[in-house]
Structure 1
Amino acid sequence: MTAPHHVPGVLSLIGVDAGSANLREADHLIHDLLDHLALTPGTVACTHLIRTDERRGTAVSLALPDAATAEAVWERIAGWQSPGVGAALGERSYGAKQAARTAALAAAEHARRSGGRAVVYPGAERLTGTVTVADLLVLTAIDEVTVVGAPMADGQGPDPAMPVLTRDHVRPEWRDGRLTLALAPAAGGALAPFEVPNPTPCCADHA
């Protein structure tokens, strides 16, 4: 992964909980935030499953390119009037207290890079149609690909020339500090993302 794809630290991470019940709703929320907050290129936006005594659902996190950009986005969030929304940036919180707490959990998980499913990330817009494994690693922020049910031998992944049917829906996840995409065998000897669009790619609704 090249330097421009570096993900910033905690001072650049904002968590948002708008009551999304599932991944599809959270994907929509991320695209709405991209538009409403005028997020800059280089933003990494992830979904996070929340399982607490008070909340069962999905929150999102926004990793901005730098702390100054995060401050500007935070000011826009503070002017966002939407019932039940909570947000967190470092020790600061905004909106509904319970939602702000779960937003902080999402931001903390992203900061640790221990979890979070990336919906928006550098290079994601290039992953349409059929690409190669090499494209996934060279053109995007994805650090690693794995094939479900096929353990890597000597740390080697699939053939870089292997075609990947993106289905216009590529959602890598943070695992042990690396943005990792799980692939599965597909028709014609190709691979495809393990997560299947349901029922259609969210981004199609935001075209």
Structure 2
Amino acid sequence: MTPHPRMPYVVTVDTGLRDLRAADHLLRTFAAELALAEGGFGCTHLVRGERPRVVVSLAPESRAELDEVRAWLVAEGYEVTGGTPDAVGRAVLYRGAGLLRGTMTVEEVLSVSAIDRVTVLGSAGQPRLDSPLVTCGHVRPQWQGGELVLAAMPAVGGTLVPFEVPEPTPCCADH
């Protein structure tokens, strides 16, 4: 398991899930059942190899909360390991995630959430802080080099949208 600089207290749960939507739902269920503090993180991690799957990690703010999380998960029958499976998890639960609704400026996104940086696909520089970002209520930044980074892409009318959309079209859907 990989240590993470911004998440010193982490447990990972592998339930054999195969898709991100189910993993997102599981994380939200865990957060509700555990009444996790707003400052923690809940991430998904893709595991490749002979048995591809999605595992989830929970990173509460304190050691005491971590012990409570671990005890609850074990009591519920989950197999829990310490740390994260990698350093590039996709954040579902993070400070301010619930506030990222509608159209916001990049500056607003950075100020109300744990997101450290916004990048734009195909662009070498950072977006302007006053650039409008249409969230679609689905903002999933990823850890990159210890920073929580939201990948965005240009959209109609000079706006940006998160790269990950809430309802992706399955590959080869039109075949």
TM-score when normalising by structure 1: 0.75
Match of 1:66 in 2: 62
Q: Distance in 2 between matches of 1:35 and 1:140?
A: 19
Matches within 5 A, 1:42-191: 42-53=39-50, 55-81=51-77, 85-89=78-82, 107-109=84-86, 114-152=87-125, 157-191=126-160
The letter for the 2-side match of 1:48 is: H
- Residue 16 of structure 2 aligns to a residue whose secondary structure is coil
Structure 1 runs (4+) deviating above 6 angstroms are none
Identity %: 42
The letter for the 1-side match of 2:166 is: P
Q: How has the CA–CA distance of structure 1 residues 66 and 125 changed in structure 2, closer, same or farther, with 3 Å as cutoff? A: same
Aligned residues: 165
User: Root-mean-square deviation (CA), in Å?
Assistant: 1.7
Q: Distance in 1 between matches of 2:6 and 2:128?
A: 26
Q: Distance in 2 between matches of 1:116 and 1:8?
A: 11
Find 1:195's aligned residue among 160, 164, 169: 164
- Residue 69 of structure 1 aligns to a residue whose secondary structure is helix
- Residue 71 of structure 1 aligns to a residue whose secondary structure is helix
Q: Distance in 1 between matches of 2:88 and 2:128?
A: 26
Q: Residue 122 of structure 1 contacts residue 141 of structure 1 at CA under 8 Å; is this kept in 2?
A: yes
Instruction: Give 1:108 deviation, angstroms.
Output: 4.1
Q: Where does structure 2 lack aligned partners over 5 or more consecutive residues?
A: 169-175
Q: Distance in 2 between matches of 1:25 and 1:39?
A: 19
Match of 1:8 in 2: 7
The letter for the 2-side match of 1:181 is: L
